[in-house]
Structure 1
Amino acid sequence: MIIVEGWVRLGSATEIERLRSAAVKMMHTTKVSETGCLEYAYAIDLAEPDLLRIIERWTDEAALTAHFATPHMAAFGQAMASANITAMLVKAYAGEEVRTLMEQ
């Protein structure tokens, strides 16, 4: 499993609102159309409203690579290209060992 985790700091919280529609469309399309996608989500940080958190889980590297070539990824990339991004960091991790820390 491949785990992608990261963040994007935007110029203001209003910038996140401007991108909301494109982000929601990206999440939905990725989840329903990409068979290798196990989880795909963006979230606004509760303590820092200009910080967009990213979390993804993929079955394997091939699924993640295929994701980057999709039309919806290209469209979202265009939306992000016009955004006021002040910093960004996104990393991929191999998730060979997975254990539940909390569950209800």
Structure 2
Amino acid sequence: MLLIVGTVRLPAENLERARPAMRAMAEASRAEPGCLEYGYAEDVLVPGLIHVKELWQDQASLDAHFASSHIAVWRAAWPGLGIGERDLRVYEVGTPRKT
């Protein structure tokens, strides 16, 4: 499995306009084969900081995601939303366990 975690930043005043685009991206991604989790979360202390968490079954699923039309639409929206700084990392993970 592949875990992607990180953050994206946008001007806080653009959050209202960004939410529908983030929702559309999350819904389309969650419907993809191999997507186990996909979400965005607003930081409660830093306005405009969005935490990203994705979990993919394998590299082939992630590659298909990167080639999808909805990711192209999402990326095309970045300049208008002021999304510039991105810090996302991919980790290979094993079987989860309860804590």
TM-score by length of 1: 0.87
Query: Residue type of the partner of 2:29?
Result: T
Question: How do residues 8-87 of structure 1 correspond to structure 2 at under 5 angstroms?
Answer: 8-10=8-10, 12-32=11-31, 34-87=32-85
Query: Residue type of the partner of 1:57?
Result: L
Aligned to 1:88: 86
CA distance in 2, matches of 1:55, 1:46: 16
CA distance in 2, matches of 1:97, 1:49: 34
Q: What SS does the corresponding residue of 2:98 show, helix, strand or coil? A: coil
RMSD: 1.3
Instruction: After TM superposition, give the deviation of residue 29 of structure 1 in Å.
Output: 1.1
CA distance in 2, matches of 1:76, 1:85: 11
Q: Is the 1:16–1:52 contact (alpha carbons within 8 Å) kept by the matching residues of 2? A: no
The number of aligned residues is 99
- Percent identical pairs in the alignment equals 37
Q: What SS does the corresponding residue of 2:81 show, helix, strand or coil? A: coil
CA distance in 2, matches of 1:74, 1:85: 14
TM-score by length of 2: 0.91
